[in-house]
Structure 1
Amino acid sequence: MKIALLQCNSVTGDVAGNQTRILEAARRAAEAGADLCVTPELALCGVTPGHYLCAADFAQGCRAALQNLADALKDGPPLLVGAPVPSVYAVGLLSNAGVLVDKGKWQVISRKVYQNMGRSGGQGDDVRYFDRGVSCGILTLGGWRLGVVLCEDAVAEEGAFWQTQYASGHNPLMELIQRGVDAVVHMAAAPFCVGAQEAGEHMLSHVAARHHVHLFSVNLVGGNDSRIYNGQSLAFDPTGQLLARGKAFAEDVLVVDTAGHGADAVEELCQSAEEAEWRALTLGTRDFVHKCGAQRAIVGLSGGMDSALVCCIAVEALGAGNVTGVLMPSPYSSEGSLTDARQLADNLGVTTVTLPIEPLMRAFEAALKPGLDLFPPYEGEVTFENVQARIRGTLLTSLANRAKALVLNTGNKSEGAMGYCTLYGDAVGALGVIADLTKTQVYAVARWYNTYRGAEIIPQNVFDKAPSAELRPGQKDADSIPPYEELDPVLEALLEPPAESVDKPLDDVCREVRDKLFRAEFKRRQEPLALHVSRVPFGAGWQAPVAGRYRLP
């Protein structure tokens, strides 16, 4: 049997467009002799559709699209497509289903079994709109019994379907195995995070070998808001041997012949975490901009590492002609920073514009004076440092309005954790491109990028100089927060604490980092949507009170 795994990049809510994309991929598979085509979970409507599902005509539109596919593929191979369908168990809800389209008709084969919530937020989001699901169906085709299961996560520690006994009493995989199947078809929408692909492959291989079944896992690809889906669909034989792996971070039609070895269809894994992060962020940026209906991006270039990496990602994602770099020097900006920013832009072929902010700083100081005179100054005041950042934010967003572009935010995870940013200033933007990378990871990805390009695209001086916001004379980031080489390991340990260290006392640096981390939650709630590449991103894997005060006796 030949099974085609249709690795789709669906646009959430664009049922008409997704219908066309699926149809085109199915026709490519038919030309390759596929006996069955399979899409990822919710490929027809897009993942995390949220309140789209509550619209009166949305479910009706999905049903119409299913019939359109059935009519168009009447003479083609059967298609197993992920789509929302009316629930037969709960009034007012839908089922997240695997639907068989064949011979001009469609029928539901399997319904996703939900837990009450998911650590990554995926099932927790969807369970509000979908029923809990009670069945994992079996499809008989060409003498094969194919068990069909929908599950978004293939990593054991995340509660994978093959280890989980749901509150409803269901264990989807074991139910299929007990009913007798030759293969498991896994329709997935597993968000990318570093290391998840390797862990998922190990687990899937183990499942195939343990239960002696073929296993076909088709995964979504593309950026959808914060989440990035990496594709890399998989096929294993009953010994657990990898038969095929789809492309990473790209659409693919992966045709797997169960009678062959499939060695020619095994795409390579990313060679490093930095390569995977780069490719994920590039895809996430491209899809966010394009799926929001824009083509261009505006990036503020400070001459520092964060804005340099964001500009490189933007150029890779959108093309140099669609990226504009904005230099906004103040009296505190060093000549070296301006030179580095211009050199980066020249290396990338990016158009720049220079907008000095000193006249605006003076105007703001004069305009604010009557109000500020009402309040006494205090030591450590940052009023006019924040004014500089907010002037720059205003300039960037104003240019974006005229250019019909999106501002790409350049803040990193370390700064976001410490609240080392200015709301409505350097925190502005439509998308936090590197907001889930620590400063240490930013430098690592930047070094990888220069090696990847085989040239010093990001100038060496950007690597060498101490990080600084340049909002006052001689300012360095380390004046306000711990040095990044101390901060980042502590931050990662606080976000993902090992169980055995929970009761260990904190040293002074850990306590400072934790206190700032909790106090900065109000800023993070107002920052741009961030692309997620870590296991514990802010906003999904992490929640803290905004109006809280963490104090212990």
Structure 2
Amino acid sequence: MSDRTLRLALHQLNPTVGDLEGNERKVRDGIAAACAAGAQLSLFAELVITGYPPEDLLLKEHFLRDARAAIDRLAAESGEHVAVVGFPERAEDVFNAAAVLSRGRLQAIYRKVLLPNYGVFDEQRYFQIGPGGGVVDVGDLRVGITICEDIWEPGPPATDEAVAGASLILNLSASPYHAGKGVERERMIAQRARDSLAAYAFCAQVGGQDELVFDGHSFVCDHTGEIVARAAQFAEEMLVVDVDLGAGAKARLRDTSHRPTVRRTAPQVVTLARLEPAPPATGAAPERRVAPLLQPIEAEVYAALVLGLRDYVEKNGFRHVVLGLSGGIDSALVAAIAVDALGAGRVTAVVMPSPYSSSGTQDDARDLARELGIECHEFSIAPAMESYTEMLAATFQGREPDITEENLQARIRGNLLMALSNKFGWLVLTTGNKSEMSVGYSTLYGDLAGGFAVIKDCPKTLVYRLSEHRGLPRSIIDRPPSAELRPDQRDEDSLPPYELLDRILEGYVEQDLGTEDLVGQGLPEADVERVIRLVDLAEYKRRQAPPGIKITTRAFGRDRRMPITNGYRG
């Protein structure tokens, strides 16, 4: 290694929010592994000690004290290695911070400058902003520190650090996933690197946390924006890479266009610490690791769903899951995801035919359970339907059957699944998709009853693509969708075709477009008005639905927050 090269270890860990002891252990083990690999500096994710997002745990003084105690213990064990570790700092206020640990001490603390307060983020509720950029001198090498949002906006603090001489910008991140976000990050950070003629090291959290999934996808790019190392998506990994910090300095010498900026700019940067570097690593450089990206996008989304479900089950202490298997495409996809996440031995399916259930769907449900290798119970709901009909006959006398009787069937099924959950401690998975959730095509205390909604943020058209990707049986994919709650029922009796419905929902839910905008795109006015009305009226249902995995830019609850009592339409 040259004296301008730094061997860097990016620790892409899967912390559990609130498990301070377990997260501290992961960091300690990571530092030991990095030292064994000859790394001189370890970079961990944003708030790795607490997990992200810790939400209102940050309002507890004792929680913040315990997080700081973990940092102090890690500092005492740091040796010659330099470790940059995310944690919440309790000082005159609370800061989203990065601790610099080396030679048995907490050497410095960097405080996040840009606090996001949009989408899923609520950081201004918890944190005070930091004063500005900060650099650490490791021998003759100057390194800048940033935390997540600090580099999403162009300009300071990262540009200030580069102007102040940093040839490597570290970024501790906990950046929640949505479809395609990893590539967006790479392009954005590569542009930041080219603009500042500095290498960037992006270290991200991985794993599921309630509705959020973190995809990892940590990487290092050089001063030209070229990706020189990339960790896997959706998996824990330590990525070790030799970063040439001299290359950026040479490029700045040749590119004189930056000199006027340096002369006229007084960057708000402090030198946080001056550290003696660990001895240069000996032996061959680590093998260049640029993990391939998951393609097509369906493969990426499917991996996110598998990880999100696995971590929700594991981190919340469930051993087993159960779901209703109807023979339709939604429940078939959820069953496949559950098997891929947990293994067939931890998944139970329940087939619950009614007098309106077709033999084709029921046969498909049984065949799929056998193909997936999962336990399958079968309960006919006809006796319960008859009992309800008898109990309600006098009260309903003179009224024709309608959606009330249809919803009773869904609620009987929900009761059966919840009975199994109560008896055996199983987590009930619901199977509704985003298109249905959007327009309220679901039954409270029926198909909405459960603990986790795996595909609640997947539009129906995406469900079809995911099912094709997973290789589900053609008979399930090709069958016209139906709730089978009355004779010859089809979803399109109540809704526009899903291709049209999802186009309208994309505009109204994801892009906040109004009726006039959508009709201007050539969408049928009557369908647009009907769908918007259904979306607005269904807000009260969505508030009572179980949490589920976010994979779009506007997930209900986390991103899109609308009042239930709302007199505005369109």
Pick one of 387, 391, 407 that aligns with 1:386: 407
Cα distance, 1:335 vs structure 2: 0.9
Contact map agreement 1:97 1:108 (CA 8 A) in 2 = no
Pick one of 532, 543, 547 that aligns with 2:550: 532
Matched, 1:417 2:451: no
Contact map agreement 2:95 2:130 (CA 8 A) in 1 = yes
Equivalent residue of 2:239, what SS?
strand
Pick one of 63, 83, 90 that aligns with 2:87: 83
- Distance in 1, matches of 2:108 and 2:531, equals 51
- Distance in 2, matches of 1:548 and 1:106, equals 52
Distance change (3 Å), C-alpha of 1:522 and 1:293: same
- Distance in 2, matches of 1:496 and 1:313, equals 25
Higher CA-based Rg: 2
For residue 254 of structure 2, what is the aligned residue in structure 1?
none
For residue 11 of structure 1, what is the aligned residue in structure 2?
16
- Distance in 1, matches of 2:305 and 2:142, equals 39
Equivalent residue of 1:57, what SS?
helix
Matched, 1:247 2:269: no
Pick one of 199, 217, 222 that aligns with 1:232: 217
Cα distance, 1:153 vs structure 2: 8.3
For residue 101 of structure 2, what is the aligned residue in structure 1?
101
Distance change (3 Å), C-alpha of 1:262 and 1:447: farther
Contact map agreement 1:109 1:148 (CA 8 A) in 2 = no
Amino acid at match of 1:17: G
Matched, 1:139 2:148: no
- Distance in 1, matches of 2:153 and 2:495, equals 42
- Distance in 2, matches of 1:46 and 1:35, equals 24
- Distance in 2, matches of 1:309 and 1:61, equals 42
For residue 367 of structure 1, what is the aligned residue in structure 2?
391
| Cα deviation digits, residues 354-402 of structure 1 (max 9, x gap) | 01111111112223335445xx636x83111111101111111110122
For residue 338 of structure 1, what is the aligned residue in structure 2?
362
For residue 204 of structure 1, what is the aligned residue in structure 2?
189
- Distance in 2, matches of 1:106 and 1:372, equals 72
For residue 243 of structure 2, what is the aligned residue in structure 1?
258
Amino acid at match of 2:338: A
What is the Cα-based RMSD across aligned positions, in Å?
A: 2.0
For residue 565 of structure 2, what is the aligned residue in structure 1?
547
Distance change (3 Å), C-alpha of 1:372 and 1:136: farther
Cα distance, 1:547 vs structure 2: 1.6
For residue 473 of structure 1, what is the aligned residue in structure 2?
487
Cα distance, 1:76 vs structure 2: 5.2
- Distance in 1, matches of 2:423 and 2:563, equals 37
Pick one of 404, 408, 422 that aligns with 2:429: 408
Equivalent residue of 1:127, what SS?
helix
For residue 20 of structure 1, what is the aligned residue in structure 2?
25
Cα distance, 1:140 vs structure 2: 1.2
The count of residues paired between Structure 1 and Structure 2 equals 522
- Distance in 2, matches of 1:76 and 1:314, equals 44
Pick one of 361, 372, 377 that aligns with 1:348: 372
- Distance in 1, matches of 2:463 and 2:331, equals 10
For residue 250 of structure 2, what is the aligned residue in structure 1?
none
Distance change (3 Å), C-alpha of 1:36 and 1:175: same
| Cα deviation digits, residues 73-110 of structure 1 (max 9, x gap) | 3x35221100011133x3xxx11100012122214431
For residue 113 of structure 2, what is the aligned residue in structure 1?
113
Contact map agreement 1:343 1:459 (CA 8 A) in 2 = no
Contact map agreement 1:301 1:327 (CA 8 A) in 2 = yes
For residue 453 of structure 1, what is the aligned residue in structure 2?
none
Cα distance, 1:543 vs structure 2: 2.2
Distance change (3 Å), C-alpha of 1:184 and 1:362: same
| Cα deviation digits, residues 450-500 of structure 1 (max 9, x gap) | 1xxxxxxx2211011110000011111011111112111121122233889
Moved more, 135-144 or 408-417: 135-144
Matched, 1:463 2:477: yes
- Distance in 1, matches of 2:80 and 2:321, equals 42
- Distance in 2, matches of 1:551 and 1:325, equals 40
Cα distance, 1:72 vs structure 2: 3.1
- Distance in 1, matches of 2:212 and 2:467, equals 22
- Distance in 2, matches of 1:519 and 1:399, equals 32
| Cα deviation digits, residues 231-263 of structure 1 (max 9, x gap) | 010101112111100111000100110149977
Contact map agreement 1:67 1:104 (CA 8 A) in 2 = no
Moved more, 508-517 or 346-355: 508-517
Amino acid at match of 2:198: V
Once the two structures are aligned, what percentage of the paired residues are identical? 38
Amino acid at match of 1:222: G
Amino acid at match of 2:210: D
Distance change (3 Å), C-alpha of 1:352 and 1:4: same
5+ residue gaps in structure 1? 155-159, 164-170, 451-457
- Distance in 1, matches of 2:542 and 2:29, equals 41
Matched, 1:151 2:144: no
- Distance in 1, matches of 2:40 and 2:183, equals 29
Return the TM-score normalized by structure 1: 0.91
Equivalent residue of 2:489, what SS?
coil
- Distance in 2, matches of 1:114 and 1:430, equals 35
For residue 65 of structure 1, what is the aligned residue in structure 2?
70
| Cα deviation digits, residues 41-100 of structure 1 (max 9, x gap) | 000001111121222311111111112212333x35221100011133x3xxx1110001
Equivalent residue runs for 1:287-302 within 5 Å: 287-302=311-326
Contact map agreement 2:150 2:157 (CA 8 A) in 1 = no
| Cα deviation digits, residues 317-360 of structure 1 (max 9, x gap) | 01100000011111111111111011111111001000111111
Equivalent residue of 2:133, what SS?
coil
